[in-house]
A = this chain, B = another copy of it.
Amino acid sequence: MNNRVSIAVLGASGYTGADLVRLALTHPGVEVVALSANAKAGQAMADIWPHMVPYRHLPPLVKAEDIDFSRVDFVFGCLPHAASATLLSQISGPRIIDLSADFRLKDAATYADWYGGAHPAPALLADAVYGLTEFARATLPSARLVACPGCYPTAALLALVPLARAGAIRPVNITINALSGLTGAGRSLKEANLFAEIGEAAAPYAVGHHRHMPEMEQELALAFAAPVTLSFTPHLVPMSRGELETITVELNGASVADARAIIEDFARDEPFVHLLPDGVPASTRMVRGSNHVVLNIAADRIPGRAILTVAIDNLVKGSSGQALQNMNLMAQLPEPTGLDAAPLFP
């Protein structure tokens, strides 16, 4: 026995689950005690993930129902929406960090509108902490249930919330264009996601109606203290990891330099958020495999507007890395513990 926290990962056969395990393997304060993957129960991580070949000591994949949660300090939910809330609502004992969409929206009716069905556990919504770490440090230490933000909201909110709170931008005509690598589409088997069909292919999807919209609007409304309706267009581009957002905003009388100073103040003491030098736009190659966030701001050619660029690794800061960052705060560990690997480039 040691003084590491014990974690279970539900859904270790998906990309977010696997990346959580990857990071946990070198996290000095964590011991992986259980891994579930219902359709692949009985196999080893090394059987279903090429990069897990050297890690034969990991627990075998089991069905979630076969996990003894009394031995677990933290459960990470890496399951599809609806399935996640259904399962997690039945677990008592461990604290819960959910990476699905189920506990992000505060309003069960909005959830039903966007996710196509009644919320499986609406009673839990009120107490769930929206775990965008940089804005949730006050509430995370005592949280029992944390909803990790979607990857697109993570990037967008890190760029927009400080400006919104400071009143430097207006809550109208916010237009977000996002580029994502294919891990953002999950490990689902679709012809359109085959290597031969994605190579040399760039295209938007879910134009006008992506499920991360209400989540961004909810959090921006809090930051602006005003309702927000925004434009958001995600694209898949031929890369595996990485997410880039280019956001046009209307400045609220502030100059671009004013806005830049606000971001600078915000980023100064953040371990993972980095304001780039003036004129250097964010790029996914600055963050691959790491929990870092890079961002910048520039003047738009349309007077009174500015262009924000922000990049994250969708599986790390956009998902599993942020989940561990949250866990660190929940467990009173130093926030960057286990998340200090530098980006992989080239």
Contacts and interface: CB of A to CB of B under 8 A. Distances in A.
Interface of A: 15, 18, 22, 25-26, 49-55, 173, 175, 177, 179, 181-183, 185, 187, 189-191, 193-205, 207-209, 213, 229-233, 235, 237-242, 244, 246, 248, 272, 274, 276, 281-290, 292, 294, 298-303, 305, 307, 309, 311, 340-346
Question: Among the interface residues A18, A198, A203, A281, which one has the most CB atoms of the partner chain B within 10 A?
Answer: A203
Question: Among the interface residues A302, A305, A340, which one has the most CB atoms of the partner chain B within 10 A?
Answer: A302
Contact of A197 (B204, B205, B207, B346): B346
Contact of A51 (B238, B303, B345): B345
Contact of A194 (B187, B201, B284, B344): B187
A290 B198 CA distance: 18
Nearest to A306: B208
Give how many copies assemble into the complex: 4
B200 A239 contact: yes
A196 B231 contact: no
Contact of A281 (B18, B196, B205): B205
Contacts of A307: 207-208, 231, 233
Contacts of A231: 248, 300-302, 305, 307
A285 B51 contact: yes
Q: Which 7 residue pairs of A and B lie closest in terms of their CB atoms, listed nearest first?
A: A203-B283, A51-B345, A51-B343, A195-B198, A201-B285, A196-B346, A189-B189
Contacts of A302: 173, 175, 229-231
Given A183-B196, A205-B281, A230-B301, 16 more contacts: A15-B346, A22-B344, A51-B286, A51-B343, A173-B173, A179-B202, A179-B235, A181-B196, A182-B194, A182-B346, A194-B194, A194-B346, A204-B282, A209-B301, A231-B302, A237-B238
Contacts of A204: 244, 246, 281-282, 309
A231 B250 CA distance: 12
Nearest to A283: B203
